[in-house]
Structure 1
């Protein structure tokens, strides 16, 4: 191909020469801003970047925005309030009582137009986020899973480096600022003897008929645990719920992430001395053993280690931990232990680490939401909740809109 033909193909000799001299530019498409995740936080940031005429792109692993809400919560009812009426005409006041809407200049892109329910269905959130991205023309690359993120040191970059993002097909992208809005997606698991018998909240059946006449143990004591219990409360023999800490009720703690009244049916039956019960114990001290009939028994790890016997001969813990003994056998054990941030895709060069004991599920960030390990890496949305964990509502849409 002659130079004149090449110029017609590329547009200008200067651009062709740039690619010839810097092949990395051809291999790594560059953007000023890269956003990971097209959930609520990622789309909200994309909106503001677009309004500011910035060079950006959003990477989304699914074929549409809000993929988390396609599956979660498993029983489809959100705990974010859809407050449609306040008696006030002030738009800002009304928005502060609207827990689901994102900020935009379009009055039709308010969640009140997508659901009439006070606690809306998760499917309505998926539909809303899809319209938000489409109607505003946000630049999202769908079906693109970023599998690895690393640093490329460069003294000419404003922060001394560029971020290199590689997708599932091996395509690499380069950006100056990385905005991480991936949420919490890794189920939290506790490793103890017999933990392989535990069914996860993310995969257990949601059909109540599958639990008829069964004894069920639920590990965890948050909204997902009580949501699961609420779904099967009327068909089980009984439900026991086990966690290392006491139930924290949102109306008492004023923290929206604690147990909400809409999910606390099991707590009601427990207080009324029905067959259901709550137990407090550290999961790491326990063990599960299966008998010859396939029934699951809870014991203490040290009893299992000392006995070295068959499941039927293992001593069971007595009732010194609570007001009933775990002497019964269970048909199902379900783990509802919450979620963690996915650190696995980030190279160690980014120095992206978790916080302390009470915020280890979140990446460690400054008050400005910038990572403490890498300049130019910012964490958005639910994943940034370490900044106001148990203090404010940053784990919800209406919280991170303002934080």
Structure 2
């Protein structure tokens, strides 16, 4: 049985519910392999399918959108679902539709799945399931890719093939690898007493579990404020601590900063209630637990230079000159809400997948065309590609990366299949009108400003 035939049988099996029996040594080949079945993965699969390319998507869960099945924990998305704009132009309306993926099927607009301006995450899961099934995308579920390496071959598109291994030790081979697994590994800060910290990914979402408690939240992003918003009405008070000040999206114009829907704690803080915002480097902190189970916040320096076995009384607590340091009161719970980072663990050293630097270290290093800086033919899509426009544009979110994914597909069509980048030809007399129309209607340029652009070529 040839590799091509095995690939066809595998694709057919996705619809029949059964897989052909292959030995562990069998190597299934596809031109394109996509790791993950989130929004950017399905968007890439859609374009490959429309172009009749040989591809397969691998998803570790039983359904697409597994990240949205868990997060956000309190199920309220911050991506707006603006169903009415007063315009009938579908391209213009996509400027204000932050959840739909690009397709030819009008049924797959998110406005048909939710009436809420800020939808429930469960509706996103349902939308992604329909996007995959209605468009008959080739997704192999319950397949976790646990290792990726290179096989050198001068006859390959990029001088090498990618070898993927799943949890059952089945191997797959492809010429081009699209990685769209997002950022899902929790950011963790280790300091003395960090074992007492609960993670955003596991902490209870039932407000009743926090009744009458005093809570410290580590972090000041949307997940931190979302957590605070959920328990604001039942706690004694909430303190939030982070290295940097709160950035409000309406002030920074960056969608990833704190959104108005989550900022209730800012009201109680600014209006002189008991809640508070503190600034400090988390790595300098320490937590000490007393005999009653209360958590005391101090500095790492004091813990490392004290006899902890002598009890909490022997640990110096930070205080200012007026003895008015806010965290002197003990906490019942400390919750970590520090966001996510990319999972580098499955990639062999041969791929040279390296994290970025500074505030981009949670993303892999990629070129401006979304290709790995070290490995040709490996492209990073979706949220994990946000290093290109971090804190500048919308490339880390559905309404941004749906366009950058399309751009990568067009690049691959040109590179490997000789298909020209789509373009329109107009007489020079229509140049001004064409530019004005694009400025007024185009959704990709509108969302991915400073990243995507139109090029106008004037023929002599």
TM-score, with length taken from structure 1 = 0.93
SS at match of 2:400: helix
Range that drifts further, 320-329 or 206-215: 320-329
Could you tell me how far apart the structure 2 residues matched to 1:178 and 1:72 are? 26
Per the alignment, residue 349 of structure 1 pairs with 350
Match of 2:206 in 1: 207
User: Is residue 2:383 matched to residue 1:385?
Assistant: no
- Structure 1 residues 322, 372: CA separation in 2 closer, same or farther (over 3 Å shift)? farther
- Match of 2:284? 285
Cα gap change, 1:230/1:319 in structure 2, threshold over 3 Å: closer, same or farther? farther
Secondary structure at 1:326 match in 2: helix
1:156: Cα distance to partner?
A: 1.3
Alignment partners' CA distance in 2, 1:188 and 1:358: 12
TM-aligned CA distance change 1:257 to 1:348, over 3 Å: same
Q: In the aligned structure 2, how far is the partner of 1:333 from the partner of 1:239?
A: 10
> 1 CA distance for matches of 2:323 and 2:315?
20
What is the distance in 2 between the residues matched to 1:183 and 1:363? 11
Q: CA separation of 1:169/1:322 partners in 2, compared to 1, >3 Å: closer, same or farther?
A: farther
Q: Distance in 2 between matches of 1:167 and 1:322?
A: 58
- Once the two structures are TM-superposed, the CA of residue 27 in structure 1 deviates from its matched residue by 1.9
Partner of 1:19: none
Distance 1:134 1:191, change over 3 A: same
For the residues of structure 2 that align with 1:24 and 1:170, how far apart are their CA atoms? 10
Q: Deviations over 1:156-205 (max 9, x none)?
A: 11211110100011111000000001011100000100001000000000
CA contact (8 A) 1:47 1:136 kept: yes
Q: For the Cα contact (< 8 Å) 2:307–2:314, is it kept in 1?
A: no
Structure 2: segments with no counterpart, 5+ residues: 7-21, 405-460
Are 2:125 and 1:117 equivalent residues in the alignment? Answer: no
Shift of 1:334: 0.2
Cα distance change on mapping 1:76 and 1:322 into 2, 3 Å: farther
1:276 equivalent in structure 2? 275
Cα 1:251–1:278 change in 2 (3 A) is: same
Aligned to 1:184: 183
Give secondary structure in 1 for the equivalent of 2:156.
Answer: coil
1:312, CA displacement in angstroms? 2.7
Residue 78 of structure 2 corresponds to 79
Equivalent position of 1:175 in the other structure: 174
Match of 2:361 in 1: 360
Within 5 Å, give how 1:295-310 maps onto structure 2. Answer: 295-309=294-308, 310=311
1:39 aligns with: 38
Structure 1 residues 320 and 171, CA gap change in structure 2 (3 angstroms):
farther
- Residue 86 of structure 1 deviates from its aligned partner by 0.5
| Structure 1 pair 388–24 and aligned structure 2 pair: CA distance change class (3 A) | farther
Cα gap change, 1:150 to 1:169, in 2 (>3 Å)? same
The answer to whether the 8 A contact 1:280-1:321 is kept is no
Question: Residue 153 of structure 1 aligns with which residue?
Answer: 152
Structure 1: distance between partners of 2:23 and 2:348: 20
Alpha-carbon spacing, 1:321–1:117, altered in 2? closer, same or farther (3 Å): farther
Q: Which residue of 2 aligns with 1:5?
A: none
After superposition, the CA RMSD in angstroms is: 2.0
Task: Identify if the C-alpha distance between structure 1 residues 397 and 62 changes in structure 2 by more than 3 Å, giving closer, same or farther.
Answer: same
- CA contact 2:25–2:170 (8 Å) conserved in 1: no
For residues 58 and 159 of structure 2, the distance between their equivalents in structure 1, rounded to whole angstroms, comes to 24
SS, match of residue 346 in structure 1: coil
Equivalences, count:
386
* Residues in 2 aligned to 1:372 and 1:397: alpha-carbon distance in whole angstroms: 24
Classify the secondary structure of the residue corresponding to 2:164. Answer: strand
